[in-house]
Chains A and B, each alone.
Chain A
Amino acid sequence: MASAATPRTPEFERHNLSDEQLVAMLRIMILHRTLENRGFALNRQGKIPFASASEGHEAVQAGAAMAFERGKDILVPYYRDLGLDLGIGLTSYEVMLSLFARIDDHSGGRQFPHHYASKKLGLYTISSVIAAQTSHAVGAAYAIKLRKERGRAVLTTFGDGATSEGEWHEAVNFAAVHKLPIVFLCENNEWAISTPLSAQMGQPDVYKRAAGYGMPGVVVNGFDPVACYAVTKEAMDRARLGGGPTLIEAKCYRFLSHTTDDDDRSYRTREEVDERRKEDPVPAFERTLVEQGVLTPESLDDLKASILAETNEATDRAESVAYPRPEDLFTRLYEGPWEPWQ
Chain B
Amino acid sequence: MAVATSSSQVLNNVEAVRATLYEALKADDKVVILGEDVGNRGNVFLITKDFVKEFGTERIIDTPIAEASIVGIAVGMAMEGLRPIAEIQFADFIYPAFNQIVGEAAKTRYRSNGEYTCPMVIRTPYGGGVRGALSHSVSVEALFYHVPGLKIVVPSFPADVKGLLNAAIDDPDPVLFLEHKKTYRLIKGEVPDGHYVIPIGKADVKKEGSQLTVVSYGLYVHWALEAANQLEGEGMSVEVIDLRSVRPMDKCAILESVRKTRKLLIIHEDNKFGGIGAEISAMVAEEALFDLDAPIRRLAAPDVPAMGYAMPLEEAYMSSPAKMADAMRDMVKF
Which one of B67-75, B234-242, B296-304, B305-313 is at the interface? B67-75
Q: A117-B116, A170-B64, A171-B69 are contacts. A332–B77 as well, Cβ < 8 Å?
A: no
For the complex, give the distance between the alpha carbons of A335 and B103 in Å: 18
Q: How far is the CB of A97 from chain B (nearest CB, A)?
A: 12
Q: Which of A83-91, A136-144, A218-226 is the contact stretch? A: A136-144
Q: From residue A141, how far is it (CB to closest CB) to chain B in Å?
A: 8
In the bound complex, how far is the Cα of B149 from the Cα of A333, in angstroms?
A: 6
> Which residues does A use to contact B, with CB under 8 Å?
74, 76, 106-108, 110-111, 115, 117-119, 124-125, 127, 129, 132, 134-144, 146, 166-167, 170-171, 173-174, 177, 331-335, 339-342
A143 adjacent to B148 (CB under 8 Å): no
CA distance A144 to B80 in the complex (A): 8
Which residues from chain B contact A335 at a C-beta distance below 8 Å?
Answer: 109, 117, 172-173
Smallest distance from the beta carbon of A71 to chain B beta carbons, Å? 15
B164 within 8 A of A: no
Contact of A341 with B82 in the complex, beta carbons under 8 Å = no
> Assuming A167-B68, A340-B249, A341-B248, what are 20 further A-B pairs, CB within 8 angstroms?
A110-B110, A115-B111, A119-B115, A119-B116, A129-B99, A136-B75, A138-B73, A138-B76, A139-B84, A146-B58, A146-B59, A171-B72, A331-B113, A331-B114, A332-B113, A334-B149, A334-B172, A340-B148, A342-B249, A342-B250
Q: If the complex has contacts A146-B82, A334-B149, are A342 and B72 also in contact, measured as CB distance less than 8 A?
A: no
Residues of A within 8 A of B71 (CB): 135
- Among the interface residues B58, B77, B79, B100, which one has the most CB atoms of the partner chain A within 10 A? B79
Residues of A within 8 A of B104 (CB): 127, 129, 132, 136
Are B113 and A110 in touch, CB under 8 angstroms?
yes
- The residue on B at minimum CB distance from A171 is B69
Give the chain B neighbours of A332 by CB distance below 8 A. 109-110, 113-114
Cβ contact within 8 Å between A127 and B111: yes
**Chain A's nearest CB lies how many Å from the CB of B261?**
20
Q: Is the CB of A342 within 8 A of B80?
A: no
- Chain A, residue nearest B76 (CB): A139
CB distance from B276 to the nearest CB of A (A): 12
| A-contact 0/1 string along B275-307, CB 8 Å cutoff | 000000001000000000000000000000000
> A-B pairs with the 7 shortest C-beta distances?
A139-B76, A135-B72, A170-B69, A117-B112, A136-B76, A125-B112, A143-B80
Q: Are B99 and A142 in contact (CB under 8 A)?
A: no
Contact, CB under 8 Å: B107 / A139: no
| Alpha-carbon distance between A111 and B172 when the two chains are bound, in angstroms | 22
Residues of A within 8 A of B173 (CB): 334-335
Chain A residue numbers with a CB within 8 Å of B274 are none
Q: Tell me, rounded to whole Å, the shortest Cβ–Cβ distance linking A325 to chain B.
A: 13
Across-interface contacts of A117 in B (CB, < 8 A): 111-113, 115-116
Number of residues from B at the complex interface, CB < 8 A: 51
Q: Is B66 an interface residue (CB 8 A)?
A: yes
Known contacts A129-B99, A139-B72, A341-B248; decide if A107 and B111 are in contact (CB<8 Å): yes
Q: List 17 A-B contacts (CB under 8 A).
A: A74-B80, A124-B79, A136-B73, A136-B104, A137-B76, A139-B74, A140-B80, A142-B77, A166-B96, A332-B114, A333-B110, A333-B149, A334-B173, A340-B148, A340-B248, A342-B201, A342-B249
Cross-chain contact of A106 among B68, B81, B112 (Cβ < 8 A):
B112
The CB with the most chain A CB atoms within 10 A, among B64, B80, B107, B173, is that of: B80
Q: How far does the Cβ of B102 sit from chain A's closest Cβ, in whole Å?
A: 10
Docked complex Cα distance between A339 and B151 (Å): 11
Distance of A339 Cα from B249 Cα, bound (Å): 9
**Given A334-B109, A342-B248, are A143 and B115 also a contact pair (CB < 8 Å)?**
no
| Cβ-defined partner of B247 (8 Å) among A110, A115, A132, A340 | A340
Quick check: is B202 within 8 A (CB to CB) of the other chain?
yes
| Separation of A174 and B74 alpha carbons in the complex (Å) | 12
| Contact present for A132 and B100 (CB under 8 Å) | yes
Q: Is B252 an interface residue (CB 8 A)?
A: yes
Flag whether B251 is at the interface (Cβ < 8 A).
Answer: yes
Partner of A139 from B58, B78, B251 at Cβ < 8 Å: B78
B63 lies within 8 A of chain A by Cβ: yes
* CB proximity of A133 to chain B, nearest CB, Å: 8
Which of A111, A141, A333 has the largest number of chain B CB atoms within 10 A? Answer: A333
Q: Give complex CA distance A222, B109 in Å.
A: 34
Q: How far is the CA of A336 from the CA of B283 in the complex (A)?
A: 23
Residues of A within 8 A of B32 (CB): 146
Q: Is B108 part of the contact surface with A, judged by Cβ < 8 Å? A: yes
Q: A124-B79, A342-B202 are in contact. Are A167 and B64 (CB under 8 A)?
A: no
Contacts of A138 in B (CB 8 A): 69, 72-73, 76
Q: A135: which B residues are within 8 A, CB to CB?
A: 68-69, 71-73, 75-76, 100
> Hey, which chain B residues are within 8 Å of A127, CB to CB?
103-104, 107, 111
Give Cα A334 to B114, complex, Å: 9
Inter-chain contacts of A142 with B (CB < 8 A) = 73, 76-77
Residue from the list A118, A170, A173, A341 in contact with B115, Cβ < 8 A: A118
- Contact partner of A107 among B113, B149, B251, CB < 8 A? B113
A174 and B64 within 8 A (CB):
yes
Distance A174 CA – B36 CA, assembled complex (angstroms): 13
A339 to B66, CA, bound (A): 33
List chain B residues, Cβ under 8 A from A334: 109, 149, 151, 172-173
The chain B residue sitting closest to A117, CB to CB, is B112
B149 touches A174 (CB 8 A): no
